[in-house]
């Protein structure tokens, strides 16, 4: 019997996209629109990774600390970069943005669609907006995720992201050997078979090793 998604262990998966697969792109429905996060919406952004109000409150301090360590010295740039998909009532329902981690590598940050809006193509449309905003010189682009985000991993794969296979990145283990059986169990057969694997470039490893903080 499958575990509940919230019982899937919190393990590390790292992915890299060297070239966009344009066949994955989609357009945002007219029922929604994209805009940047406003400074008075910090608490909304901070709650996005969590599926319940209780969990968001529990981890609010963590999100504040992460913001201070990663974005605070470039606060204006954060609010220029951080995207929200909103409904017609201006309610933010999805978020994502690209951030130059360690001032060296482009990374996908905090990609999430609220539970009640999953399955409507909003995540694919948002990721399309983010990826189309990149130029050739911006590649490769990287991300960190977990096996519980198996649906997002399938989506990333559609866009051209490959799973990185080295055992360590910075001060984090790469848990792909433990994660693969979980992904095989939860992903559709088609999505799992499409997963591609590669080793990370030296520039990426040097960049991640250059700091003790986790900026993606």
CATH number at residue 90: 3.40.630.30
Higher-pLDDT residue of 44 and 210 is 44
In a domain, 175, yes or no: yes
- C-alpha 76/C-alpha 52 separation (Å) is 28
pLDDT recorded at residue 90: 97
From 54, 138, 143, 157, select the one nearest 96 (Cα to Cα). Answer: 143
- Give the range of the structural domain holding residue 78, as residue numbers without chain letter: 8-209
In a domain, 66, yes or no: yes
- C-alpha 52/C-alpha 72 separation (Å) is 26
The answer to whether residue 2 scores a pLDDT higher than 80 is no
Higher-pLDDT residue of 203 and 6 is 203
The answer to whether residue 33 scores a pLDDT higher than 70 is yes
Its pTM stands at 0.95
Q: Can you read off the two tokens belonging to residue 41? A: 């919406």
In a domain, 180, yes or no: yes
For 9-23, how does the pLDDT look when each residue is reduced to its tens digit (9 = 90+)? 999 999 999 999 999
For 78-93, how does the pLDDT look when each residue is reduced to its tens digit (9 = 90+)? 999 999 999 999 999 9
In a domain, 196, yes or no: yes
In a domain, 216, yes or no: no
In a domain, 2, yes or no: no
In a domain, 215, yes or no: no
pLDDT recorded at residue 204: 97
pLDDT recorded at residue 86: 98
The answer to whether residue 1 scores a pLDDT higher than 70 is no
3-state secondary structure 9-57: CCCCEEEEECCCCHHHCCCCCCCCEEEECCHHHHHHHHHCCCCCHHHHH
For 109-119, how does the pLDDT look when each residue is reduced to its tens digit (9 = 90+)? 999 999 999 99
Q: Give the number of domains in the chain.
A: 1
For 46-70, how does the pLDDT look when each residue is reduced to its tens digit (9 = 90+)? 999 999 999 999 999 999 999 999 9
For 129-188, how does the pLDDT look when each residue is reduced to its tens digit (9 = 90+)? 999 999 999 999 999 999 999 999 999 999 999 999 999 999 999 999 999 999 999 999
Rounded to the nearest integer, the mean pLDDT of the chain is 96
In a domain, 81, yes or no: yes
pLDDT band at residue 3 under the 50/70/90 scheme: low
Q: How would DSSP label each residue in 76-140?
A: HHHHHH-EEEE-TT--EEEEEEEEEETTTEEEEEEEEE-GGGTTSSHHHHHHHHHHHT--GGG-S
């Amino acid at each position: 019997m499958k575990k509940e998604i919230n019982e899937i262990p919190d393990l590390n998966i790292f992915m890299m996209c060297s070239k966009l697969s344009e066949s994955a792109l989609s357009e945002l429905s007219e029922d929604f629109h994209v805009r940047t996060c406003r400074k008075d919406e910090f608490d909304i952004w901070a709650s996005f990774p969590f599926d319940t109000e209780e969990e968001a409150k529990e981890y609010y301090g963590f999100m504040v600390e992460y913001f201070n360590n990663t974005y605070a010295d470039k606060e204006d740039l954060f609010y220029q970069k951080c995207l929200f998909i909103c409904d017609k009532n201006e309610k933010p329902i999805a978020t994502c943005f690209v951030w130059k981690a360690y001032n060296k590598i482009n990374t996908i940050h905090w990609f999430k669609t609220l539970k009640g809006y999953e399955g409507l193509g909003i995540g694919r449309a948002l990721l399309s907006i983010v990826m189309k905003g990149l130029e050739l010189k911006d590649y490769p682009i990287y991300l960190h995720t977990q096996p519980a985000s198996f649906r997002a991993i399938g989506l990333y794969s559609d866009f051209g992201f490959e799973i990185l296979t080295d055992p360590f990145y910075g001060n984090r283990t790469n848990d792909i050997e433990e994660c693969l059986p979980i992904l095989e169990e939860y992903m559709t057969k088609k999505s799992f078979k499409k997963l591609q694997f590669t080793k990370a470039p030296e520039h990426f490893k040097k960049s991640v090793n250059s700091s003790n903080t986790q900026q993606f």
